[in-house]
């Protein structure tokens, strides 16, 4: 089985710095594999271990082409890594991203299964997997919490609000997986050292047959951190009764009671 797992490489949310005016800075943020996508990588690695190969596919700006990021991804199981790199993809919306990924997957044909995390780590639209499936004209499902291969067909479970749906799906298919499908492995030194020896292919948009960058329909006007409210940290002293009275007065004064 030929499996492609699509991953979003994005700045680590933990490294985001909030400026005084509320705008955010990603300058010092380390880029990482989207945490939701790690589950898709793990699912792909487990399926490939049963017979097949696993290719990882990412699209994004030049910053995704970092040696450490590539090793990190390849240490988690994929046999090869394909990157579609173009700075025009820095602010790509789901339509643009899915167009690029679908085009790259066509070039990787034959592909039996395309896996996605449930959403991207930065924007979390949860759309890309479904759109790629649609563009490729193959069955696409989201909320997949279990995959089994039976006689060349896939039996998948979808965890919905009140029920678990069991479906049989033919291949090729595009599946977006939930985070409870597995616990991603943590690669050891042997995996990390081995990752440096695996093939990495870097494609431009032209390499996948796209003459121009896809049109981005969503314009991000600005991104701001929610305002933090300064706590007053008022200290009340004195006897319990006096302090209680002062507390009530303060709450009334603030219009809270």
Partner 1 sequence: MDFRLSEEQELLIQNLGELLQREAPESLMAKFDEAHEFPAQAWKALADNGILGLGIPEEYGGIPADILTMTLVCETLGKFAFPLGIIYSLGMITIRDIVQFGSDEIKQQVLGGIVKGDAPVALGITEPQAGSDAVNLKTSAAFQGKDVILNGQKMYCTLAGVSKHILLMTRDPKIESPYQSISMWLLPTDTPGVRMNALSKLGWWTVPSYQVFIDNACIPYTNLVGKLNEGWPQLMANFEIERLALCAASVGAAEAAYEDASTYANRRAQFGKPIGEYQAVQHKITDMAVKIENMRHFIYKVAWMMDQGMPVRQEHAMCKLYVAQASFEVCDDAMQILGGLGYMVDSRIQRLWRDIRLMRIGGGTDEIMYNIAGPQLLKKARKAAEAR
- How many other C-beta atoms are found inside a 10 Å radius of the C-beta of residue 123? 19
- How many other C-beta atoms are found inside a 10 Å radius of the C-beta of residue 153? 13
Q: Tell me the site size for partner 1, rule CB under 8 A.
A: 17
**Does residue 190 interact with partner 1 by CB under 8 A?**
yes
Taking Cα atoms as reference points, which of 156, 186, 168, 173 lies closest to residue 41? Answer: 186
**Does residue 199 interact with partner 1 by CB under 8 A?**
no
Which of 22, 170, 196, 238: binder of partner 1 (CB under 8 A)?
196
Q: Which is nearer to partner 1, 76 or 135 (CB)?
A: 76
Q: Which is nearer to partner 1, 188 or 209 (CB)?
A: 188
Q: Could you tell me which stretch among 41-49, 93-101, 163-171, 190-198 binds partner 1 (CB under 8 A)? A: 190-198
Q: Measured between alpha carbons, how far is 133 from 20 in angstroms, rounded to an integer?
A: 42
Nearest approach, Cβ of residue 51 and partner 1 (Å): 24
Residue 66-105 contact track with partner 1, rule CB under 8 A, x = bound: -xx--xx--x------------------------------
Nearest approach, Cβ of residue 201 and partner 1 (Å): 19
Q: Measured between alpha carbons, how far is 243 from 229 in angstroms, rounded to an integer?
A: 24
Which own/partner pairs from 163-171 qualify as long-range (CB within 8 Å, at least 24 positions apart)? 167/141, 169/139, 169/141, 170/139, 171/1, 171/112, 171/113
Q: Measured between alpha carbons, how far is 152 from 171 in angstroms, rounded to an integer?
A: 8
Q: Which is nearer to partner 1, 64 or 92 (CB)?
A: 64
- Do residues 21 and 48 make contact, with C-beta atoms less than 8 angstroms apart? no
Task: Considering only CA atoms, give the Rg of the chain.
Answer: 23
Complete edge-to-edge strand list for the sheet that includes strand 200-203: 164-169, 153-159, 140-150, 173-177, 113-116, 2-6, 53-60, 80-85, 200-203
Distances in whole angstroms, Cα of residue 77 to Cα of each of 33, 129, 238: 13, 20, 64
Residue 213-242 contact track with partner 1, rule CB under 8 A, x = bound: --------------------xxx-------
Q: Which is nearer to partner 1, 70 or 135 (CB)?
A: 70
Nearest approach, Cβ of residue 164 and partner 1 (Å): 26
Q: Which is nearer to partner 1, 233 or 241 (CB)?
A: 233
Nearest approach, Cβ of residue 187 and partner 1 (Å): 6
Q: Which is nearer to partner 1, 211 or 234 (CB)?
A: 234
Kindly list the residues in this chain that would bind partner 1 in the complex (CB under 8 A).
67-68, 71-72, 75, 186-193, 196, 233-235
């Amino acid at each position: 089985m030929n499996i492609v797992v699509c991953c979003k490489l994005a700045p680590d949310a933990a490294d985001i710095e909030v400026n005084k005016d509320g705008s955010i800075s990603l300058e010092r943020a380390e880029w990482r594999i989207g945490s939701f996508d790690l589950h898709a990588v793990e699912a792909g690695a487990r399926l490939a271990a049963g017979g097949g190969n696993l290719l990882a596919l990412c699209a994004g700006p030049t910053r995704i082409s970092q040696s450490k990021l590539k090793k990190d991804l390849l240490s988690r199981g994929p046999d090869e890594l394909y990157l579609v790199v173009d700075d025009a993809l820095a602010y790509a919306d789901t339509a643009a991203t899915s167009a690029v990924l679908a085009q790259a997957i066509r070039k990787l044909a034959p592909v039996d299964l395309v896996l996605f995390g449930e959403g991207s780590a930065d924007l979390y639209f949860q759309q890309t997997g479904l759109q790629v499936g649609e563009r490729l004209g193959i069955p696409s499902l989201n909320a997949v919490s279990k995959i089994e291969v039976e006689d060349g067909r896939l039996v998948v479970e979808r965890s919905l609000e009140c029920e678990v749906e069991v479906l049989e799906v033919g291949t090729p298919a595009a599946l977006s997986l939930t985070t409870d499908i597995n616990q991603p492995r943590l690669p050891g030194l042997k995996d990390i050292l081995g990752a440096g020896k695996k093939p990495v292919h870097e494609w431009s948009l032209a390499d996948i047959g796209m003459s121009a960058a896809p049109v981005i329909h969503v314009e991000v006007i600005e991104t701001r951190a929610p305002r933090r409210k300064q706590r007053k940290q008022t200290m009340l002293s004195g006897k319990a009764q006096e302090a209680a009275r002062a507390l009530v007065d303060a709450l009334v004064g603030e219009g809270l009671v």
